């Protein structure tokens, strides 16, 4: 990526300025040394906006946590067993991993992973499954294409994830799931996709409008305009149509489920604002929505709380499904 | 709250800043991170294993290897507040006359339930029970009472670790004798601790309960020591001796590894792969020594976790730390 050099330098500065403990303010500190350019979004110039859509600037332990997630996922599979891997569509990547609970006719939670729309695979999120499986829910982790393989378009990912949800609804009974108790959880760019899923008009697909009974979207993006203005447009080929169709905040009229949004106080300014603004807009529209703020958590640490039934996200996801940690 | 204070001087601050690179660079750790700040330094005489004084000092200074120390500690303090908001304030009992000789009890609903006693860390010089309540909900929901001990720190005891050891021992003896008063089964008393609390938990597990307290040797049914220290010699050789007044007696009496004959309960050791070399070695060596002595010992290594990230995971029943504690108590992760 074109900005990699700058990012690395600024990150090092940010870290040198006070370590991870103040990483949240690191980028801002580092920026004091340079002249601010013309504003491109709210009070941000280009560099500030680019930083606000670059997680590592604010979360210097990104790689460490990714490594931990992968190691923990290996361990989780050793405990709960390998998932059933099933195709929901014809292409190679259109598959999903089902971690089954023992209960019959159990509720199902479907997870959409993040990775700036570019990275990550379902198998490396198995660490999220155990709290759900032990609490009496099936946990389904989706694979789907990425923006690079999709020629820069976000539409294929959104379309695939919607189709996967439809597949789970139609096939839930085949793995002991209750099609009338489907829930969604997601993180980061997965929550952007999740936003597009919960504001989808399912009737167009001959599916019930309330196919999902609830969703918890962590650390997501719900209006693509600032993202489009950021350096992410180097690899996402944004169009007016894409920005409009895939900005969940502009389709709240179709939102038809209780929504939980969450962000951490050490996330980038934009990743905090996106959730706050979407929350305010949903609330203003008179729809049921809750906002959770993880005090002291950065972007990647937020997801780790989903792997803990007593963590911020894990607790909320189970409660939304009417489950308690004690199975 | 812990601070960067270090009686031995300023280098901690410099190295801490540099240590920040460890997080950025992930698992590569301080070897890489230290490069920019420590322009080729001549290694001094070895003072412990293959370490010179600075390396040993670094190996007993968590912030050098865990740049997000304050970040995680703050989070645990906040999560402890949230636990109290959900469970209600704990019951507070005094186990001694001193102001800090008290303990917090988060009670479970089950009758005659097992009890877990937690000993917090903080390099022996910081920390309060109130900020280590974050794991209480896991215990209570799984059907165990959770006791969090308060005790004096080494700055308050004039540098004497024996006073602290004596306090946590009295705390455990109090729990054993008074368990029934809050619905606990004294015959199912377990301990766990982290960091310097992991050291003190090791001391508890190698205490002569019969001789010193007139209690059965099986007062403690099992213990989990997270990121602890079990032989004080290298700690004594490190800059920690600037604030701990080690003597030959404290080093010997409070090195659990030298009292394995008194270890009668199963012990489970937990540490992270991003901890300091010494905080990894201490657990490994204690496990090897306990095993060689024919004791029941298990080890869980938490990948890609530093010292404080291990600590935080005590509150997660599906982490290796939470799992170790619950499994030892024969409770299902709930």
What single string gives the DSSP state of each residue in A265-285? TTS-HHHHHHHHHHHHHHHHT
Residues in chain B closer than 8 A to A56 (CB atoms) = 24
In a domain, B312, yes or no: yes
In the structure, what pLDDT confidence band is assigned to residue B14 with cuts at 50, 70 and 90? very low
User: Tell me: the pLDDT tens digits for A193-233?
Assistant: 999 999 999 999 999 999 999 999 999 999 999 999 999 99
Mutation test of the interface with chain A: which of B12, B15, B17, B24, choosing the one with the most A Cβ atoms within 10 A?
B24
User: Tell me: the pLDDT tens digits for B320-332?
Assistant: 999 999 999 999 8
pLDDT at B37: 59
Ranges A104-108, A134-138, B3-7, B267-271: which has the least confidence:
B3-7
Do B24 and A266 lie within an 8 Å CB cutoff?
no
What total of structural domains would you count in chain A?
A: 1
Mean of pLDDT values over B173-185: 98
Mean pLDDT of chain B: 91
pLDDT at A325: 86
Strand duo B184-194 + A177-187: pairing: unpaired
CA of A61, closest CA in chain B: separation in Å?
A: 4
Can you give the residue range of the structural domain that contains B233?
68-328
Residues in chain A closer than 8 A to B68 (CB atoms) = 19-21, 23, 61
pLDDT at B25: 35
pLDDT at A16 over 80: no
In a domain, B250, yes or no: yes
Task: Report phi then psi at A264, rounded to 5.
Answer: -105, 150
Mutation test of the interface with chain B: which of A296, A304, A318, choosing the one with the most B Cβ atoms within 10 A?
A296
Residue from the list A19, A63, A310 with its beta carbon closest to the beta carbon of B17: A19
ipTM for this prediction: 0.89
Please answer whether residues B34 and B59 qualify as being in contact, where contact means their C-beta atoms are separated by less than 8 angstroms.
no
In a domain, B8, yes or no: no
pLDDT at A4 over 70: no
pLDDT at A134 over 60: yes
CA of A284, closest CA in chain B: separation in Å?
A: 28
pLDDT at B276 over 70: yes
Ranges B6-20, B30-44, B74-88, B238-252: which has the least confidence:
B6-20
Strands (E) across chain B are located at: 46-48, 51-52, 91-94, 102-106, 113-119, 145-149, 184-194, 222-226, 267-272, 297-302
In a domain, B101, yes or no: yes
Residues linked to residue A155 through DSSP beta bridges, in sequence order: none
pLDDT at A22 over 70: no
pLDDT at B1: 36
Residues in chain B closer than 8 A to A310 (CB atoms) = 137-138, 141, 315-317
Mean of pLDDT values over A296-313: 98
Among chain A, residues having any CB pair with chain B shorter than 8 Å are 11-12, 15-16, 18-21, 23, 56, 60-65, 67-68, 71-72, 75-76, 127, 130-131, 134, 266, 295-297, 307-311, 324-327
User: Tell me: the pLDDT tens digits for B121-164?
Assistant: 999 999 999 999 999 999 999 999 999 999 999 999 999 999 99
Do B19 and A19 lie within an 8 Å CB cutoff?
yes
What total of structural domains would you count in chain B?
A: 1
pLDDT at A34: 84
pLDDT at B15: 37
Burial string for B192-219 (b: 16+ CB within 10 Å, else e) reads bbbbbbbbbbbbbbbbebeeebebeeeb
In a domain, B12, yes or no: no
pLDDT higher at A287 or B13: A287
pLDDT at B27 over 70: no
Mean pLDDT of chain A: 92
Six-digit token pair at B15?
């190295």
Do A19 and B67 lie within an 8 Å CB cutoff?
yes
Percentage of residues in chain B with pLDDT exceeding 70?
Answer: 88
Mean of pLDDT values over A239-252: 98
In a domain, B214, yes or no: yes
Compare all CA atoms of chain B with the CA of A61 and give the residue at the minimum distance: B23
Among chain B, residues having any CB pair with chain A shorter than 8 Å are 16-21, 23-27, 67-72, 74-75, 78, 137-138, 141-142, 274, 303-305, 315-320, 332-334
Can you give the residue range of the structural domain that contains A270?
79-320
Diameter of chain B measured on Cα atoms: 62
Residues in chain B closer than 8 A to A126 (CB atoms) = none
Percentage of residues in chain B with pLDDT exceeding 90?
Answer: 87
In a domain, B34, yes or no: no
Task: Write the CATH number for B257.
Answer: 3.40.50.1820
Expressed in angstroms, the distance from the first to the final Cα of chain A is 46
In a domain, A46, yes or no: no
User: Tell me: the pLDDT tens digits for B36-77?
Assistant: 556 678 999 999 999 999 999 999 999 999 999 999 999 999
pLDDT at B35 over 50: no
User: Tell me: the pLDDT tens digits for A42-93?
Assistant: 999 999 999 999 999 999 999 999 999 999 999 999 999 999 999 999 999 9
Task: Write the CATH number for A116.
Answer: 3.40.50.1820
In a domain, A7, yes or no: no
Do B21 and A15 lie within an 8 Å CB cutoff?
yes
Mean of pLDDT values over A274-287: 98
Mean of pLDDT values over B95-108: 98
Of A206, A188, A214, A249, the C-alpha closest to A110 is: A214
Do A64 and B78 lie within an 8 Å CB cutoff?
no
Of B296, B153, B287, the C-alpha closest to B230 is: B287
CA of B228, closest CA in chain A: separation in Å?
A: 21
């Amino acid at each position: 990526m074109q900005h990699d050099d700058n990012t690395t330098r600024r990150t090092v500065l940010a870290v040198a300025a006070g370590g991870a403990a103040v990483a949240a303010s690191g980028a801002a500190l580092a920026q004091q040394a340079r002249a601010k350019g013309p504003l491109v979004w709210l009070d941000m110039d280009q560099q500030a906006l680019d930083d606000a859509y670059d997680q590592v600037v604010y979360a210097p332990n990104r790689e460490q946590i990714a490594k931990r997630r992968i190691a923990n996922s290996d361990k989780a599979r050793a405990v709960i067993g390998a998932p059933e891997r099933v195709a929901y569509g014809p292409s190679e990547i259109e598959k999903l991993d089902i971690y089954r609970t023992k209960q019959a006719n159990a509720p199902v939670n479907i997870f959409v992973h993040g990775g700036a729309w570019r990275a990550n695979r379902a198998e490396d999120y198995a660490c999220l499954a155990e709290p759900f499986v032990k609490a009496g829910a099936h946990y389904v982790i989706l694979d789907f294409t990425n923006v690079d393989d999709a020629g820069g378009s976000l539409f294929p990912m959104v379309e695939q994830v919607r189709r996967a949800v439809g597949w789970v609804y139609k096939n839930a009974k085949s793995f002991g799931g209750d099609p009338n108790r489907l829930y969604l959880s997601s993180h980061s760019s997965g929550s952007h996709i999740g936003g597009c899923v919960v504001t989808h008009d399912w009737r167009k697909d001959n599916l019930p409008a309330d196919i999902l009974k609830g969703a918890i979207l962590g650390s997501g993006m719900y209006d693509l305009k600032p993202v489009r203005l950021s350096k992410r447009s180097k690899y996402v080929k944004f169009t007016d149509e894409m920005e409009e169709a895939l900005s969940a905040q502009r389709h709240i009229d179709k939102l038809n489920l209780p929504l939980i949004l969450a962000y951490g106080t050490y996330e980038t300014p934009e990743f905090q604002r996106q959730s706050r603004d979407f929350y305010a807009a949903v609330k203003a529209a008179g729809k049921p929505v809750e906002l959770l703020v993880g005090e002291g958590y950065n972007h990647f640490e937020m997801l780790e709380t989903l792997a803990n039934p007593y963590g911020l996200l894990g607790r909320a996801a189970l409660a939304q499904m009417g489950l308690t940690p004690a199975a | 709250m812990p601070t960067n204070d270090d009686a031995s001087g300023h280098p901690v601050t410099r190295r801490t800043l540099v240590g920040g690179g460890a997080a950025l660079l992930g698992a590569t750790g301080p070897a890489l991170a230290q490069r920019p700040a420590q322009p080729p330094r001549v290694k001094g005489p070895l003072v412990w294993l293959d370490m010179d004084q600075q390396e040993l000092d670094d190996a007993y200074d968590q912030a050098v290897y865990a740049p997000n120390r304050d970040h995680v500690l703050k989070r645990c303090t906040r999560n402890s507040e949230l636990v109290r908001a959900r469970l209600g304030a704990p019951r507070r009992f005094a186990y001694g006359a001193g102001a800090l000789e008290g303990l917090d009890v988060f009670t479970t609903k089950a009758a005659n339930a097992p009890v877990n006693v937690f000993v917090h860390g903080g390099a022996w010089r910081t920390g309060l029970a109130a900020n280590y309540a974050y794991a209480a909900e896991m215990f209570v929901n799984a059907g165990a009472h959770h006791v969090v001990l308060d005790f004096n720190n080494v700055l308050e005891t004039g540098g004497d670790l024996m006073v602290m050891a004596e306090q946590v021992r009295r705390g455990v003896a109090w729990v054993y004798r008074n368990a029934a008063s809050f619905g606990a089964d004294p015959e199912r008393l377990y301990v766990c601790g982290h960091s310097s609390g992991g050291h003190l938990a090791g001391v508890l597990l190698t205490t002569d309960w019969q001789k010193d307290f007139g209690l059965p040797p099986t007062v403690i049914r099992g213990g989990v020591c997270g990121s602890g220290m079990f032989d004080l010699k290298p700690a004594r050789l490190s800059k920690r001796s600037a604030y701990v007044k080690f003597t030959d007696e404290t080093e010997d009496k409070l090195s659990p590894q030298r009292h394995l004959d008194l270890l009668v309960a199963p012990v489970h050791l937990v540490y992270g792969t991003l901890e300091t070399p010494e905080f990894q070695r201490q657990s490994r060596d204690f496990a090897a020594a306990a095993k060689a002595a024919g004791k029941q010992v298990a080890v869980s290594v938490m990948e890609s976790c530093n010292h404080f990230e291990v600590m935080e995971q005590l509150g997660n029943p599906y982490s290796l730390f939470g799992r170790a504690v619950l499994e030892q108590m024969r409770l299902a992760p709930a």
